[in-house]
């Protein structure tokens, strides 16, 4: 339809593109366009680098990939003769430089191109590595309206929006590829409010949704009118397309028909991010399902629940791998979790494998006392058996170690660290407890698993143990998790000096020991499976420390 001069219908497309799937992303854009046309949209707004998928990292440097993205955009542009117009992100080569760009496609062609100015180069972002910075943009004229189109990071400082406002922009339309992390909603809102107040313009924030390796994009797209009224709020972690109505009022343009859906926040958002990250990693990499060791402990139990929520019970295979130190309680707790989830559950004793390894090593180990070496053979036998099941049947092994273990090296290389992906890698042990309790009373709207209690309280409450020897408890080797996690939060998330941590009342010897464990475990973390990022500083993308490193903070 053709809108009156004072009315505009904008379809907001919060979708889940796949990095590198240019043809698939193109078809998703076409389907979205066709549906929006039936709903009377004048313009469909997609997220940042939609055609390429975000973030494309060094893939975007391949000339063949750049050409494929350009061909897709040009094909899509040729199809817009009868509307609606599309505002879509893609990598774009111009003047011999590669840009992170947004293009307006209308009337059968490309009518405007705008390049991202402020390229983020911190935390998980590394855009200066691959893109050139664009010039300060002017607004794009569309149906008698001047659209300002800052791209994601361009609104995190004042300059780009100030330039757009001074050159006549009437509506700010912001395509984003903003990943989830704790506190991100408040940060985005503060930034958006600041730009609205400064420019006195409405701001439409369009974010992508879905998992991409360690990153999970939460969507949660929204619109603030010039008076800071929240006119639109999309859900978190779900795809959503909606046609919104805009009107030119005496005070300027405003969204007059949007809609509000509650976001998923706090611990529930962390849980939903972990599930969506696992779901998309498995599906986008075309694994038929997953396999994981179910030990009777809380970490593997939570991972099993997340896997079923992500994929459904028919695609999750859990295996108990008992040895002579495995307690009857662990056997019954693991079976109870499997029964509650309705998944395939097998028991595969590891005694023959461990004894075979010990027999093979006996000539070399003669005269040496038994120690952690022999204990770790249990973990390595389990890891090898799980990988063998994966090789035979195709399911990806889910790794089940938490951030407390990853921080301190309380994990066995080529054993319990084996696997393709870890949904709880960025959750401290105390957070694993908390999310397990949460899942017993709530689950995400998109979860495929059952409601109700899926992890019994006694499993959550029992003292954590790897059961590598008689009566072993984690606290034999580590401080109590409440203390350990509090220290790790300060050392990892806040990068506090050891002296400052001690000054907060922690035992100096314990703090120094934890700092040492954190430092010497870097080589293990470098070999760990990828996993969902939920904290401000995950291991890998955010916190990149050298393996060879003699610096120690002595406090």
Q: Is residue 405 part of an annotated ligand binding site?
A: yes
Q: Is residue 21 part of an annotated ligand binding site?
A: no
Q: Is residue 524 part of an annotated ligand binding site?
A: yes
Catalytic: 82?
no
> Kindly report the CA angle at 451 between 448 and 453, in degrees rounded to 5?
130
The Cα 441–Cα 455 span in angstroms is 11
Burial class (CB in 10 A: 0-12, 13-18, 19+), 126: middle
Q: Is residue 64 part of an annotated ligand binding site?
A: no
Q: Which of 69, 116, 223, 403 is catalytic?
A: 116
Q: Is residue 293 part of an annotated ligand binding site?
A: yes
The Cα 470–Cα 375 span in angstroms is 11
The contacts found for 110-114 with CB under 8 angstroms, 24 or more apart, are: 110/73, 110/74, 110/77, 111/85, 111/140, 112/140, 112/141, 114/140, 114/149, 114/151
| Per-residue burial over 293-305, b = 16 or more CB atoms within 10 Å of its CB, e = otherwise | bbbbbbbbbbbbb
Let me know: does 511 contact 501? Beta carbons within 8 Å: yes
Q: Is residue 178 part of an annotated ligand binding site?
A: yes
Partners of 171 in the beta sheet?
147
Q: At what angle do helices 328-341 and 298-311 cross, to 10 degrees?
A: 10
The Cα 148–Cα 140 span in angstroms is 6
Q: Which of 69, 152, 163, 318 is catalytic?
A: 152
Q: Is residue 385 part of an annotated ligand binding site?
A: no
Catalytic: 512?
no
Q: Is residue 409 part of an annotated ligand binding site?
A: no
Let me know: does 293 contact 417? Beta carbons within 8 Å: no
The Cα 280–Cα 212 span in angstroms is 7
Q: Where are the beta strands (DSSP E) in 73-202?
A: 85-94, 97-106, 109-115, 140-142, 145-148, 171-176
Catalytic: 48?
yes
Q: Is residue 294 part of an annotated ligand binding site?
A: yes
Q: Is residue 97 part of an annotated ligand binding site?
A: no
| Residues 6 or more apart whose Cβ sits within 8 Å of residue 362 | none
Binding site for ATP, residues? 293-300, 400
- Give the residue numbers annotated as catalytic, written as ranges: 48, 116, 152
Residue ranges at the known binding site: 122, 178, 293-300, 376, 400, 405, 524
- Which segments are annotated as binding site for deamido-NAD(+)? 376, 405, 524
Binding residues for L-glutamine: 122, 178
């Amino acid at each position: 339809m053709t809108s009156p001069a004072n009315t505009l219908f904008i379809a907001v497309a919060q979708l889940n593109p796949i990095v590198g799937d240019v043809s698939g992303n193109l078809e998703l854009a076409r389907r979205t366009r066709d549906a929006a046309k039936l709903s009377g949209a004048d313009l469909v707004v997609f997220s940042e680098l939609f055609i390429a998928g975000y973030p494309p990292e060094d893939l975007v440097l391949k000339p063949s990939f750049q050409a494929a993205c350009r061909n897709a955009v040009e094909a899509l542009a040729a199809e817009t003769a009868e509307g609606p117009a599309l505002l879509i992100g893609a990598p774009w080569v111009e003047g011999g430089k590669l840009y992170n760009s947004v293009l307006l496609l209308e009337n059968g062609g490309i009518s405007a191109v705008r390049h991202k100015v402020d390229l983020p180069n911190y935390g998980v972002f590394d855009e200066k590595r691959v893109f050139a910075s664009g010039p300060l943009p002017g607004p794009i004229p569309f149906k008698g309206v001047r659209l300002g189109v800052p791209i994601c990071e361009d609104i995190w400082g004042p300059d780009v929006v100030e330039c757009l406002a001074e050159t006549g922009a009437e509506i700010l339309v912001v395509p984003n590829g903003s990943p989830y992390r704790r506190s991100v909603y408040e940060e985005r809102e503060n930034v958006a409010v600041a730009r609205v107040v400064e420019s006195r313009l409405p701001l439409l924030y369009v974010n992508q949704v879905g998992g991409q390796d360690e990153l999970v994009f939460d969507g949660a797209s929204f619109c603030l009118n010039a008076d800071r009224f929240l006119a639109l709020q999309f859900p978190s972690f779900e795809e959503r397309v909606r046609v919104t109505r805009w009107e030119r009022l005496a005070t300027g343009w405003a969204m007059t028909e949007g809609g509000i859906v509650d976001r998923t926040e706090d611990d529930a958002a962390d849980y939903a991010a972990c599930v969506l990250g696992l779901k998309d990693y498995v599906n986008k990499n075309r694994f038929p399902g997953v396999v994981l060791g179910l030990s009777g402990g809380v970490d593997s139990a939570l991972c099993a629940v997340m896997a079923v929520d992500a994929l459904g019970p028919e695609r999750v295979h859990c295996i108990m791998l008992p040895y002579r130190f495995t307690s009857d309680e662990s056997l019954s707790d693991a079976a109870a979790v499997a029964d509650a989830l309705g998944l395939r559950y097998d028991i595969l004793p590891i005694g023959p494998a461990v004894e075979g390894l010990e027999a093979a090593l006996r000539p070399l180990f003669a005269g040496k006392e038994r120690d952690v070496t022999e204990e770790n053979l249990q973990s390595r036998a389990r890891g090898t058996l799980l990988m063998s099941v994966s090789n035979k049947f195709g399911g990806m092994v889910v790794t089940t170690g938490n951030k407390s273990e990853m921080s301190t090296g309380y994990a066995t290389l080529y054993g319990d660290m084996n696997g393709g992906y870890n949904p709880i890698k960025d959750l401290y042990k105390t957070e694993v407890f908390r999310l397990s309790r949460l899942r017993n009373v709530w689950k995400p709207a998109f979860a495929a698993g059952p409601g109700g209690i899926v992890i019994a309280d006694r499993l959550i409450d029992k003292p954590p143990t790897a059961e590598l020897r008689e009566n072993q408890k984690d606290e034999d080797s580590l401080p109590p998790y409440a203390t350990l996690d509090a220290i790790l939060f300060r050392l990892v998330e806040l990068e506090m000096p050891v002296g400052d941590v001690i000054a907060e009342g922690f035992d100096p010897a314990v703090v120094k020991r934890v700092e040492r464990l954190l430092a010497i475990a870097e080589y293990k973390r470098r070999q760990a499976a990828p996993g969902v990022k939920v904290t401000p500083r995950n291991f890998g993308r955010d916190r990149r420390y050298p393996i060879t490193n003699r610096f120690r903070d002595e406090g």
